Amino acid sequence: MAKRALLFGISGQDGGYLAQSLLSRGYEVHGASRDKDTTSFHGLHRLGVADKVHLHSASINDFRSVLQVIKAAAPGEIYHLAGQSSVATSFEQPIETFESIATSTINILESIRFLDPSIRFYGACSSECFGDTPPEGANESTAFKPRSPYGVAKAAAFWTTASYRRAYSLFACSGILFNHDSDLRPERFATRKIVKGVVDIHLKKSDRLTLGDVDVHRDWGWAGEYVEAMIAMLNRDTPEDFVVATGKAYSLRDFVKEAFAAVGLDWQNHVAFDPALRRPFDIGYSRGDPARAAEKLGWRASMDMRDVVRRLMDSEIAARKERT
């Protein structure tokens, strides 16, 4: 029989790529979103897998709803990718952020414990848990010092997962993923805003891109590669948590330069700065150390920031041509 997986948050960026990868491996894939009849599932359609997935409606903040969808899908593996996903929005909606990330994790783990403790669980954790990282990068032993409501919620979900693993012997683990992007990422995210703004300038629809702090450093990878680490984590003999990253950090300034260079423009002629766009409390330097993932999962990122930017730019330009 084919393996069966249930993806909470299948309508998001990672959910689309994960569904595609699992289907290519012969899995029966089930996906849950708040309302399957009104959600667009844009990513699934873009990747050509929307008609291959069994869809369910579920409210991740509601224990009964979560319990019912897990019972209906009867999965062998659960990937929890759902929740409020914007760091900036978490400062404006801290309660919603915490409930959609931390409370939902408890709901899923409790459901597993009641229904079928053999179900394997993957929880999407985040580099935001670390706050600023050491220059050499954060690994699985680096202390959490989150700087946003989003980071606090992810840290709570991480420790909840670890607690259920130890207390109830569940196969439950977390992937501590550093920044990863794709053309499936919503436009509210900074990287997509930058790419869209640069293409607008390239097409003469604008002449200025306004940004906040471009001196922050991030470890950027490609989402389609990162989901492979998630699958590898649930197909091991024992559950463990892993940092998933490229191991390279670049400034947002470097990201912007690369985007403008892709269309032959000098970024300094088109960028303005507005302090109001800065977050109340941001991370200055974020870099991951993926050595353990390479050693135990056999996973390594093949794309870094420059590759990500070029791919995002190519996709955005191609999309504009299709619309004209």
Q: State the catalytic residues.
A: 126, 128, 150
Asked if 131 contacts 151 with a C-beta cutoff of 8 angstroms, the reply is: yes
Query: What does the block give as tokens for 63?
Result: 């224990």
DSSP state of 169: -
Q: Angle 272-278-279 (CA atoms, 0-180°, nearest 5)?
A: 160
Q: Name the 3-class secondary structure at 77.
A: strand
The secondary element (H helix, E strand) that includes residue 272 is strand 271-273
Residue 124 forms beta bridges with which residues? 175
Q: Torsion angle, CA of 306/213/145/99, rounded to 10 degrees?
A: -90
Say whether 318 sits in a helix, a strand or coil: helix
Q: Is 270 helix (H, G, I), strand (E, B) or coil?
A: coil
Rg, C-alpha atoms of the chain: 19
Cβ neighbours of residue 26 under 8 Å, at least 6 residues apart?
A: 2, 3
Query: Could you tell me the CA-to-CA distances from 179 to 19, 133, 228, 288 in Å, in that order?
Result: 20, 13, 15, 10
Rounded to 10°, the helix 305-323/252-261 angle is 50
Q: Got the DSSP string for 294-311?
A: HHHT-------HHHHHHH
